[in-house]
A and B are shown apart, each in its own frame.
Chain A
Amino acid sequence: MARIIVVTSGKGGVGKTTSAAAIATGLALRGNKTVVIDFDVGLRNLDLIMGCERRVVYDLVNVIQGEAGLNQALIRDKRSDHLYILPASQTRDKDALTLEGVEQVLEKLAEDFDYIVCDSPAGIERGAQLAMYFADEAIVVTNPEVSSVRDSDRILGLLASKTRRAEQAQDPVVERLLITRYDPNRVDSGDMLNLEDIQEILAIKLIGLIPESEAVLRASNSGVPVTHDQDSDAGQAYSDTVARLLGDEKPLRFHQLQKKSFLSRIFGGGRR
């Protein structure tokens, strides 16, 4: 049975698409047949992050409206045999998505895949609600700042009421917290909320913590999900996150202030 995981946040720009791409890549690298779907119709980005923007012919809206078959729209990842991408349409808007259409696509994908990762658009409107509606699990991406935490809180409320599992009174959607862009230096100086505060407010299980890292922007711009960059802190942190998602125990890393060594202070040893 395929697990449907929605990556969502409410707030924009916190790293949903980066996280969806990195987590889907990590799942595939560990041998799980995975598909990642871009629900951000009209503002598609996932194809860029995954580096497959030149290979998009058909998209999710084409499939839902019967203009193309699912297999025509699925793009196989260049780097991993187990990973497929279902892009969004750039020329349509979110009204082109229907609940029945999304359900049919997900049912079809569930026959072939182990994991279906849904990259939600920002906001709490139709696109975001459709992305989360059929989810079994949710990864709520949150930055260490008050507005992001509040928006995540709002999304958690919707996950508990506006999903199929909630409406049919099944087991609730499994909610997990992924904190991104965490900078221990700025937490220490009081600019950012700390890990404990965020967890206390949102009161859900932490699945991962991704440090603020130059590797993320580099990965986005080059179209290679950061999970492939195992030399970087962010790449390792996403691998840890995926391991926890698959049931492994991994200690939390990158959340504590690193004392700079004497030499790196002199030579300005840059953060990766």
Chain B
Amino acid sequence: MSLKVDQTATAFTFKGGMLPMTVMELNSSDPERISAQLAGKLSQSPAFFQHTPVVLSVEKLDDTSLALERLCAVCRSHKLLPVAVRGGSEGIKQSAWALGLGWFPPQESRESRTLASVAPPPQPAAVVEASGSGGRIFRGTVRSGQQISAAEGDLVVVGAVNAGAEVLAAGSVHVYGPLRGRALAGIHGDRECGIFCHELHAELLSVAGNYKRLEDIDPSLLNTTVQVRLRDDQLSIEALV
């Protein structure tokens, strides 16, 4: 006899569950624009795009122009798995069901709790708060193959970040030493943060997905003290005097 005790019991039970879910709040219905932005995000945090279930929120959109089927295809091609749609007209609801997706009514209160990586850039007021809380300080050398990250706030490294190492932060990255590895700031899309280092020799610099490689960096800035930030969607590297 095998131990299949529950064979006689019910085949399943319904249980209430609260699962963390990423909401993709659409500001545009243009699949090209969405695809381009997703490609940027993908290069910035590939670990996030592993068939991650997302809810497409269309509340902010004028939905007459929305091609839901096309949008789902774009998401899937970037390894996001649309599971439901939130908000929109009766037409959107019907086409969501036709595509095998769930439908949620629009959110009542527009609270600003946006989830995870694909959230739109937070308002400047929220940025200050975020960078003030939950940061991380690492003392010592970050060695090749090591990855040090701050999921919230800033990351401060007191020491060197060697070639082949990676430092990431939701906020800014500060390196009090030579930066020879990869540094990624604003990994959740915060565009107001930056990278600061004593000696620039980074393999890669990225702020909110906008990146520069070592060979893109002006050689006169190498081995100097700099700050890196976004200016008009361009990564700007300036000497820190």
**Residues in A lying within 8 Å of B, measured CB to CB:** 150-151, 153-154, 156-158, 160, 201, 203
Contact = CB atoms under 8 A, between A and B. Distances in A.
Contacts, number: 31
A157 B145 contact: yes
18 contacts: A150-B144, A150-B163, A153-B143, A153-B144, A153-B145, A153-B164, A153-B165, A154-B145, A154-B164, A156-B143, A157-B144, A157-B146, A160-B143, A201-B162, A201-B163, A201-B180, A203-B141, A203-B159
Interface string B165-185: 100000000000000100000
Given A150-B144, A153-B162, A154-B143, 20 more contacts: A151-B144, A153-B144, A153-B145, A153-B163, A153-B164, A154-B144, A154-B145, A154-B164, A156-B141, A157-B144, A157-B145, A157-B146, A158-B145, A160-B143, A201-B160, A201-B162, A201-B163, A201-B180, A203-B141, A203-B160
Contacts of A151: 144
A203 B165 CA distance: 15
- Among B141, B144, B160, B163, which residue has the most Cβ atoms of chain A within 10 A? B144
Contacts of B159: 203
Nearest to A158: B145
Measured as residues with beta carbon below 8 angstroms from the partner, the interface class of chain B is 10 to 19
Contacts of A158: 145
Contacts of A201: 160, 162-163, 180
- Among B143, B145, B162, which residue has the most Cβ atoms of chain A within 10 A? B143
Contacts of B180: 201
Contacts of A203: 141, 159-160
Contacts of B141: 156, 203
A270 B174 CA distance: 51
Interface in B46-63: none
Contacts of B163: 150, 153, 201
A203 B163 CA distance: 13
B162 to A, nearest CB: 5
Given A157-B143, A157-B145, A157-B146, A150 B160 contact: no
- Among A151, A153, A156, which residue has the most Cβ atoms of chain B within 10 A? A153
Nearest to B159: A203
A203 B164 CA distance: 16
Contacts of B162: 150, 153, 201
Closest A-B pairs by Cβ, 10 of them: A157-B143, A153-B144, A154-B144, A154-B145, A153-B143, A157-B146, A203-B141, A153-B162, A150-B144, A156-B143
B233 to A, nearest CB: 33
A248 B209 CA distance: 52
A160 B143 CA distance: 10
A153 B180 CA distance: 12
A201 B144 CA distance: 11
Contacts of A157: 143-146
Nearest to B142: A157
A150 B141 CA distance: 13
A158 B143 CA distance: 9
A147 B42 CA distance: 29
A22 to B, nearest CB: 27
Interface in B175-232: 180
